[in-house]
Amino acid sequence: MAKVFLINPHSLDCFPSQERRFPLGLLYISSYLKKCGHEALLIDINNFQISAVLDGGVYDLKRYYDDTLKKLILDFKPDILGVTVLFSGRFHPAIDVIRLFKEDHQDIPVAIGGIHPTIFPREIMEEYTCVDYLLQGEGEVSFAELVNTIEKKEYQFDKIDGLCYRVNGKVIVGRKEHFIDDIDKLPFPDYDAIDVKNYYFNTSNWFNPKKLPINTSVYLISSRSCPRKCSFCSMFLVHGRKFRMRSAKNVVDEIEYIYNRFGQHYFSFMDDNLTLNKRRVIEIGDEIIKREINIQFDTPNGLEVNSLDEEVLDTLVRAGLIRTCLAVESGSPRIRKAINKPLKQEKILKVFDIIKKFPELTYNVFFIIGFFEETHETLAETYQLIKQLELKSAMISFAVPYPKTQLFEQCVKNNLIDRDLALNHNFKKFYFFNDTPFFKPYDLEKQDLIDFRLKVYKELNMTKHLKLLGC
């Protein structure tokens, strides 16, 4: 049995949030390690950081390490340290934690994983020698194999899927080829690894039609990946291209377990494409209703409009859906075609006619502006659609060229990214709210995009977003 110390690092100051979020990826890692016979201890530094700031204090990593982490590590005596890097804003905090750890425990190996390391494996391994191993993509099986290899001192690293490591100082980037087909076989996230009550926060201003105690939102992943090939999306790097679903029974078993054991009444489905399979999503809703599980839930990642109809929405609303986001991306058919978004204008209008039949359901809409083909005319089409749908709010983002996507390759080809691409792995705000576009369309200036977003936010009176923009 190996001992594995797991860390969720803090976030950069440029991404403040009062909302508490369970470290879902590490909870899955922890439960899988325990299933394999290992011992795991999970420390969520990010949650501690939020507590320190909300209590009026100042978060200081070195002090926290000296006062808390150092003793925990000495008492636990880990055989390996695992650090997750969910997005770019946690990469440098992760490196800071690892360096402090290595000052005291040079002989204990460190492994990192997450979307940021998955996108930049070679760059990270070549620059940061404090990182011994890097795991690409979903990590339950591969990390457990790494732990087994270290425990048994077999060191057959080339047999571990998606592992990056060094041989005589040379970085070896293994190919990520295998993903878990039957995700029903994964154990539920290890909520015993944390104190759920430490994630309670003030939700008094949340939409709560059932008047249930919320306390916090429990994140759920009921499927992995998305078979769509939108030019801007990089999630296939983590979960692959093959869409894999948990059964409806397995999903609702997890909901019921958390509902009964922890008294939780609010959930968030974080799937890339929750409603892709109509039969399964209706089964999930029907099973929640059948078991009389009195909950509310939302879908913050956005539902694919193509997959929605009245039967799906009616079932989900009756099961407890109260908030959702719809991924329209653009009001222009030409832009949607250019970004491989096969969504017809008639379908958008039809779905919004249906969704308005459910007054107990609030919704937001995702738009992305600034693709290469964007023009004043296509922006006007987006504006007209916003007005036609009578939206009360809209999330308008600038197109982001995530590395290894079609959009990124298009940017590189046109030499439109005005920074050193070799330093992308150190770009601290890559996944954060951005106040300026990353590149200019062929026929527009960046300021045209900035002005358009500001115009829409002002007309919709979106105070929170205006404040983020300094308005």
Six-digit token string for 427: 């770009």
The amino acid at residue 370 is: G
Separation CA 203–CA 215 (nearest Å): 6
Q: What integer pLDDT is reported at residue 57 of this predicted model?
A: 77
> Which residues are CB-contacts of 337 (< 8 A; sequence separation ≥ 6)?
none
Low-confidence residues in the chain, pLDDT < 70: 13-17, 418-423, 427-434, 463-471
Q: Kindly tell me the sign of the dihedral angle through the C-alpha atoms of 10, 12, 18, 22.
A: negative
Q: Determine the CATH number of domain 3-173.
A: 3.40.50.280
Q: How many CB atoms lie within 10 A of CB 402?
A: 20
The amino acid at residue 292 is: E
Q: What integer pLDDT is reported at residue 420 of this predicted model?
A: 67
Q: What integer pLDDT is reported at residue 426 of this predicted model?
A: 72
Residue found by looking up tokens 């404090």 in the block: 130
SS (H, E, C) 20-56: CCCCHHHHHHHHHHHHCCCEEEEEEHHHHHHHHHHCC
Q: Do domains 3-173 and 202-468 have the same CATH topology?
A: no
pTM, two decimals, is 0.93
The amino acid at residue 67 is: D
Q: What integer pLDDT is reported at residue 125 of this predicted model?
A: 97
279: enclosing H helix or E strand: helix 278-290
Question: Minimal CA–CA distance to 24: which of 165, 188, 230?
Answer: 188
Domains of the chain, residue spans: 3-173, 202-468
- The b-or-e profile of 270-291 (16+ CB within 10 A means b, else e) is bbbbbbbbeebbbbbbebbeee
Separation CA 367–CA 325 (nearest Å): 11
83: enclosing H helix or E strand: strand 80-84
Distances (CA, A) of 145 to 81, 405, 429: 14, 29, 32
Q: How many CB atoms lie within 10 A of CB 32?
A: 21
The amino acid at residue 212 is: L
Domain 202-468 is of which CATH architecture? Alpha-Beta Horseshoe (3.80)
Q: What integer pLDDT is reported at residue 316 of this predicted model?
A: 97
Distances (CA, A) of 415 to 31, 363, 408, 419: 45, 38, 10, 10
